[in-house]
Chain A
Amino acid sequence: MSDLGPDPEWIDAALIAARPQALAALLRYFRDLDTAEEAFQEACLRALRSWPQNGPPRDPTAWLVLVGRNAAIDQTRQRARHEALPADDVIADANESEAELAERLDESHYRDDVLRLLFVCCHPDLPATQQIALALRIVSGLTVAQIARAFLVSESAMEQRITRAKSRIARAAVPFEAPGAIERATRLAAVAAMLYLVFNEGYSASGDGAAMRAALCDEAIRLARLLLRLFPAEPEIMGLAALMLLQHARSPARHDPTGAVVLLEDQDRSHWNQAMITEGLALIDKAMRHRRRGPYQVQAAIAALHARATRPQDTDWRQIDLLYAALEELQPSPVVTLNRAVAVAKLRGPAAALAMIEPLAVPLAGYFHFFGVKGALLRDLGRPQEARVAFDRAIALANSAAEATHIRQHLDRLMKDGALNAVSGNVPAPELR
């Protein structure tokens, strides 16, 4: 930053960082998403004109709320009475009232505002894809073009999807008074689930648009950190942030240069992002202190055990098995049992694991990872014909070229080994979800 005011990059970063809180406060004021968005947009334009000359405001968020609010009111007046807008230098006054506004807009205020803004995006009537698209558009401020690229759909299709989602939430009318404790907890849980959807959208990316979608992981982490600052004593939010950090830390090692999936135990652990691991471990440690167990914390604790193992053989599978058992209790799901079976295979061998996943054949009949795991277990049990059938089914169900390639490698190896006596203890862990 020079004496001439903040550089454009700083302004961009400040506008992006301020967006959720500023927009949320404007939404509370106008009680209408479109008006709030227009007001924020106008405030950003004025910031780009004013900040380089007058220097950055002390509290950019409060400045944007104040200027955005005044601009929108002026516009309404202008529409009504064709009055001239105030000159730009009137905005200089904004700095004076900014401190006053910042007083009133302390964290406790922003808290429910930001929660409401996020919550409108996760209305139960909206399918997951619409929730994610809406959150990225409204809360994160990504352009429709950027979101369309991440979802590999055309811009007009994405525009339509967002418009439809917006009209649906407009009809739903989210209440604007401060929520009570129970309502707040409900909203937090819905928002946490939505953020994890955003994260997974990025995490499962490979091939085309992977880089763009990987940015969704960063965005989900940024929003989780924001929630954590606003709700510092919620162990599940700590758990969610930890889970995302610990999973995202593995991203640099999850694909080989050709884009194929690299299994957890084959990953080059020196490529894991140590800064994210350190932060994730610190957050899960902090969450555990509350002794209020929840699904995100348990999943984060499992990811933490993987992160702590310097080599795959150092992994504490016994503890992981116990944690999956706890997760099965908290949030019973065939996918959780499937993940647990991988730990069981390490601890008690492939036969025990296979017995464990047999009952999952119906609920997971269309699930790629089920057949990947089943194939590997059968192979380790020396049943190559059945393994092959499972692997073939997995390829048919693969969600990406990378997944299919990975299973094809298993098949190739099966053929090369004369379809017999494959090396044991090599169950491909489905990426922990």
Chain B
Amino acid sequence: MLYAILCYHDETAVAAWSKEEEDAVMAKLGTVQEKLAKQGRLGPVARLLPTTAATTLRKDREPPLVIDGPFAETKEQLLGFYIIDCASLEDALATARDLGQANPGGAYEIRPLLLFQPGNAGATA
């Protein structure tokens, strides 16, 4: 069974980390990730940019509505995610609109990635 582990934290606190703190945390995480990778269990790892870089596409209406900022409602739940290579935010929004047409309702929050490691899990699953 593949599991996703979604990371929640106070972004202002994390953004306030000094370079030393940041490096120390990343090094400690690296050790855990390395073990998983050796066992062939580590799938994609992504670190998102802060919510200030987010744009939301509300696809519960036609045409969908683009809103600056993160998805802020609480009545919907996180059901999945895509990682897509896009030339620009415009391109990402166009892609999200295509997906939204295939599956209207709810919203997509579009967040640029700061870091991405493709990983190796699931190849044999």
Residues of A within 8 A of B (CB): 10, 13-14, 16-17, 222, 225-226, 228-229, 232-233, 241, 275, 278-279, 282-283, 285-286, 289
Contacts and interface: CB of A to CB of B under 8 A. Distances in A.
Given A232-B67, A279-B114, 20 more contacts: A10-B13, A14-B10, A17-B12, A225-B50, A229-B51, A229-B52, A232-B68, A232-B69, A233-B67, A233-B68, A241-B52, A279-B112, A282-B49, A282-B112, A283-B53, A285-B89, A286-B53, A286-B89, A289-B66, A289-B89
B13 A232 contact: no
B90 interface: yes
Interface residues of B, number: 20
Task: Among A10, A13, A17, A282, find the residue whose CB has the most chain B CB atoms closer than 10 A.
Answer: A282
B16 to A, nearest CB: 6
25 contacts: A10-B13, A13-B13, A16-B16, A17-B12, A17-B13, A222-B15, A225-B12, A225-B15, A225-B50, A225-B52, A229-B69, A232-B52, A232-B68, A233-B67, A278-B49, A279-B49, A279-B53, A279-B112, A279-B114, A283-B53, A285-B88, A286-B55, A286-B89, A289-B66, A289-B90
Nearest to B87: A285
Interface in B2-57: 10, 12-13, 15-16, 49-53, 55
Main SS class of interface, A: helix
Nearest to A280: B53
A286 B88 CA distance: 9
Q: Which 5 A-B pairs have the closest CB atoms?
A: A232-B69, A282-B112, A232-B68, A233-B68, A228-B52
Contacts of A289: 55, 66, 89-90
Interface in B70-125: 88-90, 112, 114
